[in-house]
């Protein structure tokens, strides 16, 4: 499960960087690399990033349940 968490975290970071580029430079890097937003490869990346974001909710909730988030806030 650790490997899956790392892979999904990397995909969420890729998605965040892509959204940052869309917002600041109107550049969709995923679409530019994979042939447009409608290209099946770009759509696959978008779906994988979305599923990865959903998966990353699990470690976030786990961290909240063991108090890690509260410990970070009190530094």
- The predicted model scores a pTM of 0.81
Q: pLDDT 10s digit of each residue in the chain, 75 long? A: 789 999 999 999 999 999 999 999 999 999 999 999 999 999 999 999 999 999 999 988 988 887 665 555 555
**Tokens matching residue 31:** 């679409």
Q: Which of 46, 51, 42 is nearest to 7 (CA)?
A: 51
Model pLDDT, residue 64: 82
Structural domain boundaries of the chain?
A: 2-73
């Amino acid at each position: 499960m650790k490997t899956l968490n790392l892979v999904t975290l990397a995909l969420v970071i890729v998605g965040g960087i892509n959204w940052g580029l869309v917002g600041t430079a109107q550049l969709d890097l995923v679409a530019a690399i994979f042939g447009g937003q409608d290209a099946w490869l770009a759509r696959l990346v978008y779906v994988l990033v979305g599923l990865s974001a959903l998966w990353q909710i699990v470690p976030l909730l786990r961290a909240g349940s063991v108090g890690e988030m509260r410990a970070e806030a009190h530094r």
